[in-house]
Chains A and B, each alone.
Chain A
Amino acid sequence: MTESRVHHKLSPKEIVLGILRWFLILFFAAYTLFPLIWLTISSLKTNFEFLALSPFALPAVPQWQNYANALSVAGLGRMLLNSVFVGLLATVFNVIVASMSAYCISRFRFNGRERIYTLFTAGILVPLNALMVPYFVIINKLGLYNTYGGMVLLYCAIGIPMSTFLIRGLMDSIPMDLEEAAYIDGCGFYGRFFHIILPLSRTGIVTAATFEFLTCWNEFVFANLIVSSEKLRTIQVGIRYFTNQFSTDYVSMYAAIVISIVPSILGYILFQEQIISGMTSGAVKG
């Protein structure tokens, strides 16, 4: 359909729209790339340049030793791996549990269904900072203090309401007749879930998974609270290595942030291709 339009003679209105479109595209690109560029430039300054001179000036001499500093933090690589490991595991568990519950809530009418859904919805709003004390107690009582298991469980758990909400929203839009037909053909509870609903709700599941992974990746309060061993520390703890009680070594911290961003952006680019191809090969809506 695009080709058919190319041969059209462009009307003034279309030209204006075209300019507007490219203005928007480039504006948003600049807006999102700017922080990344600024961060990279800042990570090559001295602290004097960063604090005392204009924050938007270029460094006189690029300070590559900031990167050496950042890399010298014991176990930065391990922290990255921990973040990926914990984030992936929590995300997988999270979306499995959430899609199961979303399936039930979305497709079946049973007693207490609405009440349960209200519970999930309220769960999204709970400010987790208020739960530091109970979470600390729960994780300790389960014997999971200072373990990967504790982090995975907690991260998986705190994302359940949001993921259920996101996945249910998508499942609701799947027409019932598809399922009815399968039901009449003798397809059971599990069959309908795996063969019809799950493939059709990929978009929702991917949305939930991305959100959950980002939550894990950026989470700091609980990563610090329920873990004490350096071996289990995540990247957010690593980034804060350069802050102390009185001051922050900004430039080294920025170098650490840049180092930590690289794998996540690469990961995202790779992951994105997988998601998108998975999603577009799914059913069409109408």
Chain B
Amino acid sequence: MKPTRSDRSALAAFMAPALIIMLVFFVIPVIYVVVVSVLKWNGISTATFTDIQNFAKLFKDKAFVRSVTNNVIWALVAGFIQVPLAMVMAIILSRKPAGWKFFRTVYFFPQVISGIALATLWRAIYNADTGLLNGLLRSIGLGDLARDWLGTVDTAFPAVLIYWVFYVGYYMVIMMADITTIDSSYYEAATIDGASDFQQAIYITIPLIKRTSLLTCVTLASVLGLRQFEQVYMLTNGGPANRTSTMVLYMYKKLQDTNYGMASASAVILIIVGVIFIVCIRALFNIGNDEVRAQKKMRRAVK
């Protein structure tokens, strides 16, 4: 809608708080980060201008390149495996099977358990000696597969990633709430036409949540994947040999080294990678979406 004259002041009043917050807590600090990203500075001595050397150093550092790749993989897995899993569970539970309220609550629990506890648990599960996973493999005669899951080059990153994928509660709750707002007459009509549960999910539920909660969850999961820090920090601290490092962890380590220049440069790259990612996701969800085109057309008409 195009704002009318009287709307304009109201619009300004409504935008003001958010804009002020954005200015003070994001724009100014990010300008600071960008400035520091071209400096050599340890936080205490005088800073010197270094051009784009910090960025050059970053791309020469294998650990950083691996962090970027890990983050991209993480974001893709979160957005396109974790969220679809959550969607399946949301569709199943929104059909209200016995005990669905109980399960809906239980699935959410990991969100309130401290990350430290989850990390120690999973370290214990993956432990080479006493771990549950190796114990399980040995008991079913697959002892040859037992290994130090978090200490082996090939398995460390998948191990860190996979356990997290199955904690779907948060996204599930978001999508379930959305599914409950779907008009039940759609399903009734479909049932009369003889559509199975599966067909109803594919042809009614998913299209109706696609542009709302599904898009939200995919973006959210990808963003959290790109910002991933705490899980990795506590589970592996980026090891072995930087195999599980992520951009924020990398940046955090540079901060510890009081290498503020490179830390800031990696923050800048994270923001850029992230924006590209979000733009791609939005494009992906908009392609061929008639509803959006119709909406756009309507807005243009109103204007």
Residues of A within 8 A of B (CB): 1-2, 4-5, 14, 17, 21-22, 24-25, 28-29, 31-36, 38-39, 54-56, 97-98, 100-101, 103-104, 107-110, 116, 118-127, 129-135, 138, 154, 156-158, 160-162, 164-166, 169-170, 172-173, 175-177, 179-180, 183, 188-190, 193, 203-204, 206-207, 210-211, 214, 217-218, 236, 239, 250, 253-254, 257, 260-261, 264-265, 268-269, 272, 275-276, 279-280, 282-286
Contact B26 A1 (CB under 8 A): no
Contact B132 A264 (CB under 8 A): no
Chain B residues in 8 Å Cβ range of A211: 170, 220
Which residues of chain B in 236-268 are interfacial with respect to chain A, using CB atoms and an 8 Å cutoff?
Answer: 247-248, 251-252, 255, 260, 263-264, 267
State the majority secondary structure of interface residues on B. Answer: helix
Contact B267 A130 (CB under 8 A): yes
Q: How far is the CB of B23 from chain A (nearest CB, A)?
A: 9
Which residues of chain B in 106-139 are interfacial with respect to chain A, using CB atoms and an 8 Å cutoff?
Answer: 106-118, 120-121, 124, 127, 130, 132
Partner of A190 from B10, B104, B302 at Cβ < 8 Å? B10
Q: Taking A28-B168, A217-B112 as contacts, is the C-beta distance between A21 and B2 under 8 angstroms?
A: no
Q: How far is the CB of A49 from chain B (nearest CB, A)?
A: 12
Chain A residues in 8 Å Cβ range of B18: 97-98, 100-101, 120, 160, 164
Partner of A121 from B1, B263, B275, B295 at Cβ < 8 Å? B275
Q: Taking A239-B116, A265-B112 as contacts, is the C-beta distance between A160 and B22 under 8 angstroms?
A: yes
Contact B110 A35 (CB under 8 A): yes
A239→B117 CA distance, assembly (Å): 10
**B159 lies within 8 A of chain A by Cβ:** no
| 5 smallest beta-carbon distances between A and B, as pairs | A125-B274, A101-B18, A55-B124, A134-B29, A130-B267
Partner of A28 from B10, B132, B166 at Cβ < 8 Å? B166
A110→B11 CA distance, assembly (Å): 9
Contact B186 A286 (CB under 8 A): yes
Chain A residue at minimal CB-CB distance from B182 = A285
Contact B267 A127 (CB under 8 A): yes
Chain A residue at minimal CB-CB distance from B292 = A172
Chain B residues in 8 Å Cβ range of A129: 229, 248, 251-252, 255
Contact A254 B117 (CB under 8 A): yes
Chain B residues in 8 Å Cβ range of A55: 124, 127, 130
Q: Taking A33-B106, A104-B14 as contacts, is the C-beta distance between A133 and B112 under 8 angstroms?
A: no
**B140 lies within 8 A of chain A by Cβ:** no
A194→B220 CA distance, assembly (Å): 27
Partner of A169 from B116, B196, B212, B260 at Cβ < 8 Å? B212
Contact A1 B115 (CB under 8 A): no
Chain A residues in 8 Å Cβ range of B177: 203, 206-207, 275-276, 279
Contact B21 A157 (CB under 8 A): yes
A272→B109 CA distance, assembly (Å): 12
Q: Taking A1-B191, A125-B270, A261-B113 as contacts, is the C-beta distance between A133 and B32 under 8 angstroms?
A: yes
Q: How far is the CB of A136 from chain B (nearest CB, A)?
A: 11
Chain A residues in 8 Å Cβ range of B112: 214, 217, 261, 264-265, 268
Partner of B14 from A101, A116, A268 at Cβ < 8 Å? A101
A131→B34 CA distance, assembly (Å): 11
A103→B227 CA distance, assembly (Å): 27
Q: Taking A56-B132, A97-B18, A116-B19 as contacts, is the C-beta distance between A39 and B182 under 8 angstroms?
A: no
**B79 lies within 8 A of chain A by Cβ:** no
Contact B21 A279 (CB under 8 A): no
Contact B274 A24 (CB under 8 A): no
Contact A100 B270 (CB under 8 A): no
Chain A residues in 8 Å Cβ range of B25: 135, 138, 154, 157-158, 160
Partner of A250 from B26, B120, B247 at Cβ < 8 Å? B120
Q: How far is the CB of A35 from chain B (nearest CB, A)?
A: 5
**B89 lies within 8 A of chain A by Cβ:** yes
A165→B127 CA distance, assembly (Å): 39
**B53 lies within 8 A of chain A by Cβ:** no
Chain B residues in 8 Å Cβ range of A254: 117
A265→B108 CA distance, assembly (Å): 9
